[in-house]
Structure 1
Amino acid sequence: MTVTETADRPPRPAPEQAAISLRGLRKEFGDVVAVDGVDLDIEHGEFFSMLGPSGSGKTTVLRLIAGFERADVGTVTLGGTDVTTRAPFERDVNTVFQDYALFPHMNVLDNVAYGLRVRGVRKAQRRARALEALGTVQLGHLADRRPNQLSGGQRQRVALARAIVVEPSVLLLDEPLGALDLKLREQMQVELKALQRNLGITFVFVTHDQEEALTLSDRVAVFRDGRIVQLGTPQEVYEEPRDPYVASFVGTSNLFDSAVSQQILGRAGIHALRPEKVTLTDAAATRTDEPVRVTDGVVEALGVVAETIYLGAAHRVIVDLEAGPRLVVLEQTAGALAAPEHRGDVVWARWALDDVVPLSAEADQ
């Protein structure tokens, strides 16, 4: 879709200014602090995700950016302009909701063109731009249908077309894929990423699905109790979690408390180990009285397989280590036939010390 400067939309901000700047944002609902001192910069053209469980504050931050909520304290700046006290229609953003919010009495084309109609764009121009937006989401052939004649994925794409047709600087997406089934959600993830790359505008995506955030994002902010507890690229957040909360919420981690870390790793402090970093070998013929041994930076811990779960592309193997903790191991199915994965099998669990991540205490949050 071609970005054009028209009288119905404000000029683009200077590229050196962040698309969104939040400073000291705080929002309370009665006795509940929903957002607690959030500072954040989101750059132009980023696909930025806000990730966290229900009640973590991510959706409230999105609503503060959109103008649907007013901050008790702090500022919201869009492209260098303070919009903290401005109404939603005075902000160069648009929002896509989980429930699509399409008008059932309008056809697809009129739904997409509605925002242009409100802005006073002439009929011929808004029709052309609406058709262009529908073409961007590959739905031009369904322009005359009503929303109830579309599938869930098609309705979601209509909602996206309606949001992008007014050419906002920022597109806010509030768990837009949450109502879709798994296969359609995965398909829409690919389409969303391609759409954002082609349009070049800033996407701010709210989700509780960590896999979705890792798949789509340039950067991810992990929320907890109204605060950002970690901010970084998907790889940084996954490979270098800051604390036990992030390590557990973003993917699966084996967490070792200080006592277990000292016993198994020879290190004090709390540590995390991702399941895919661990390999298993048969220990029946090499069992020793040593439950743990460390050689050349590799840890070997003796254990017994408690359970094996088939996941299709992988197996999740649960191992009870003789040294104490229970270990989760993820093995690719391709090598599973040769793996000792039956309940009761005695195994060596092996991982590199370099794959163990030190964590700060959760109490610091």
Structure 2
Amino acid sequence: MTDQPAIRLTGLTKEFGSVTAVDHVDLEIAAGEFFSMLGPSGSGKTTVLRLIAGFEQPTSGTIELFGQDVTAKAPFDRDVNTVFQDYALFPHMSVLDNVAYGLRVRGMKRAQRRDRAMKALASVRLEQYADRRPAQLSGGQRQRVALARATVVQPKALLLDEPLGALDLKLREQMQVELKQIQRELGITFIFVTHDQEEALTLSDRIAVFNAGGIEQLGTPRDLYERPASRFVADFVGTSNVFDHERSQTILGRAGEHSVRPEKLTLSRTPQEGEGIHSAPGTVVESIYVGSGIRSVVDLDAGVRVTVLEPNVRGRVDDDERGNRVIVNWHDGDVISLYPPAGGG
């Protein structure tokens, strides 16, 4: 990576009539970084991607690509390329011709563009399918063709707009691994838009969590999951048990608002002991077998419903059945502070 960011957004704002889709976003994305923009529908993430690509013009603010102001430039004058969810391949062209199309538009000679296109197909392990039509490929293969077509022109940044959203779960998981490998091999800056928090955690070097047109939190996957800065992030990135100010004081003995991840809680018949360990009694209202683990929903006597996720380990005989009395245990170090107490720092 270089010191100069691949993308710099300064005060970026986009309004559609009375609706502010993007609200004064400041962001730097490093060269060679796999960067994800994560958020629910309407949070502004896709609009930011379209502004970077040049498909939309900002109401105010600037967009820089490797130090060059491209705010007013047309999409074809920006050294970026975009991969869409629907792939947008030409059905009448062979896979090879689809990949070589961008080179052809740029006036590259036939032999040279064929050589470049074959190398691009090899990078996604599809060179043996060069003569096929897109309709003869699986969804995952078509997605890799779209990646090859986008990268063959060697853009400085690749923009990916929920490219795995149309794939089934197994294929999506496979493509996540391949996408990360391709990005590492090419060394191109990837900017990835998704509403799937697990996908973002799996792929990204850093993630920007979008909410209401702005960035709620920016950090590594571990930062966002282990140290969410707000209730929104705690709820959106993974599953979290959130305790409001009153319940935090009553159950956790802390002022402010807090959360504890389900996998940080354990169930037992009697309170666990040890430094920093705390317990609260409750009743199991649901127990769900999820293969790799058991997800239990427990109503604490203190008036809070929590979710507990425990691994499906050897020696475990029975799930905690509905109606059973249990003790929920947690460690001080696993309690996340979402907001400082009123009047605090």
> Taking structure 2 as the reference length, what is the TM-score of the superposition?
0.96
Match of 1:273?
Answer: 260
Match of 2:335?
Answer: 356
Residues 95 and 131 of structure 2 are in contact (CA less than 8 Å); yes or no, is this contact kept in structure 1? yes
Asked if residue 153 in structure 1 is aligned to residue 140 in structure 2, the reply is yes
Match of 1:101?
Answer: 88
Match of 1:71?
Answer: 58
Deviation at 1:336, TM superposition (A): 7.4
Asked if residue 187 in structure 1 is aligned to residue 166 in structure 2, the reply is no
- For 2:315 and 2:285, the matched residues in 1 are separated by 16
SS of the counterpart of 1:99? Answer: coil
Residues 279 and 328 of structure 2 are in contact (CA less than 8 Å); yes or no, is this contact kept in structure 1? yes
Deviation at 1:335, TM superposition (A): 5.1
Compare 293-302 and 73-82 and name the one that shifted more. 293-302
Query: Which of 272, 275, 286 in structure 2 is aligned with 1:307?
Result: 286
User: Closer, same or farther in 2 for the Cα pair 1:339/1:242, shift >3 Å?
Assistant: farther
State the Cα RMSD in Å. 1.5
- For 2:79 and 2:336, the matched residues in 1 are separated by 41
Residues 294 and 319 of structure 2 are in contact (CA less than 8 Å); yes or no, is this contact kept in structure 1? no
- For 2:11 and 2:278, the matched residues in 1 are separated by 44
Deviation at 1:296, TM superposition (A): 2.9
Match of 1:139?
Answer: 126
Match of 1:62?
Answer: 49
Query: Which of 237, 257, 264 in structure 1 is aligned with 2:251?
Result: 264
Residues 312 and 333 of structure 1 are in contact (CA less than 8 Å); yes or no, is this contact kept in structure 2? yes
Q: Give the gaps of 5 or more residues in structure 2.
A: 341-345
Match of 2:311?
Answer: 332
Match of 1:84?
Answer: 71
Identity of aligned residues (%): 66
Residues 244 and 255 of structure 1 are in contact (CA less than 8 Å); yes or no, is this contact kept in structure 2? yes
Amino acid across the alignment from 1:38: V
Residues 47 and 218 of structure 1 are in contact (CA less than 8 Å); yes or no, is this contact kept in structure 2? yes
- For 1:67 and 1:353, the matched residues in 2 are separated by 48
Deviation at 1:295, TM superposition (A): 6.4
Deviation at 1:145, TM superposition (A): 0.7
Amino acid across the alignment from 2:295: R
Residues 43 and 213 of structure 2 are in contact (CA less than 8 Å); yes or no, is this contact kept in structure 1? yes
Match of 2:234?
Answer: 247
SS of the counterpart of 2:321? Answer: coil
SS of the counterpart of 1:39? Answer: strand
- For 1:323 and 1:90, the matched residues in 2 are separated by 61
Asked if residue 125 in structure 1 is aligned to residue 104 in structure 2, the reply is no
Amino acid across the alignment from 1:345: N
> Taking structure 1 as the reference length, what is the TM-score of the superposition?
0.91
Query: Which of 43, 50, 53 in structure 1 is aligned with 2:30?
Result: 43
Compare 14-23 and 59-68 and name the one that shifted more. 14-23
- For 2:12 and 2:159, the matched residues in 1 are separated by 18
Residues 287 and 319 of structure 2 are in contact (CA less than 8 Å); yes or no, is this contact kept in structure 1? no
Amino acid across the alignment from 1:108: V
- 1:15-45, CA deviations, whole angstroms, 9 ceiling, x for partnerless residues? 3311000000000111111100100000011
Residues 282 and 326 of structure 2 are in contact (CA less than 8 Å); yes or no, is this contact kept in structure 1? yes
Residues 280 and 339 of structure 1 are in contact (CA less than 8 Å); yes or no, is this contact kept in structure 2? no
Asked if residue 347 in structure 1 is aligned to residue 332 in structure 2, the reply is no
- For 2:191 and 2:148, the matched residues in 1 are separated by 16
Deviation at 1:344, TM superposition (A): 1.3
SS of the counterpart of 1:334? Answer: coil
User: Closer, same or farther in 2 for the Cα pair 1:306/1:336, shift >3 Å?
Assistant: farther
